[in-house]
Amino acid sequence: MTATKSKSWFTRFAKWISRAAGQPAAFALALSTIIVWGISGPFFGFSDTWQLVINTGTTIVTFLMVFLIQNTQNRDSEAIQVKLDELIRSAEGADNALLDLEEMEEKELDKVRDTYEKMAEQARNELEERKKKKRKSPK
C-alpha cells in the first residue's frame, strides 16, 4: 500500500494553514498586528470602533482556526492509530485484541487500562525484587 497525496482542496488548505500558522513568521505577523493596533489607539481616541476592530478580527481568525486545527488533528490522530495498529498486528506475541481500542466504550477501555496497569505494577515489583537479589548476592 502506497501513500497518496490528498486530493481534497480542504485537506490541502488545512495542512497548508496549519504549517503556516506554526511558523515564526506567523507569530511575528500576529505580534506586529497587535503592536500596530496598539500604537494606532491614540489616533482613533481609543474608541469603541478601534477596540471592535481587533476583537472582531481575532474572533474570526480564532473561530476559523479551531476547525482547521481540529481537521488536521483528527487526520494526524487517525494516521497514528493506523500506524500503532500495524505495529501491534506485526509484533510477534502482541495482543491483537488491542487493535481499535479507540472504538471501545469508556468503561471497556478502563478495564483494559486497569489490566495493563496491573501488569506494569507486577513488572515493576519483579524488577525491584531482582535488584534486591542482585544487591544481596556476593560478588
Task: Say what the pTM is.
Answer: 0.61
> Can you give the pLDDT at residue 1?
62
**Per-residue pLDDT band at 6 (split at 50, 70, 90):** low
Q: Say how far apart CA 51 and CA 44 lie, in whole Å.
A: 10
pLDDT at 4 (0 to 100): 67
What is the DSSP code string of 64-94?
A: HHHHHHHHHHHHHHHHHHHHHHHHHHHSTT-
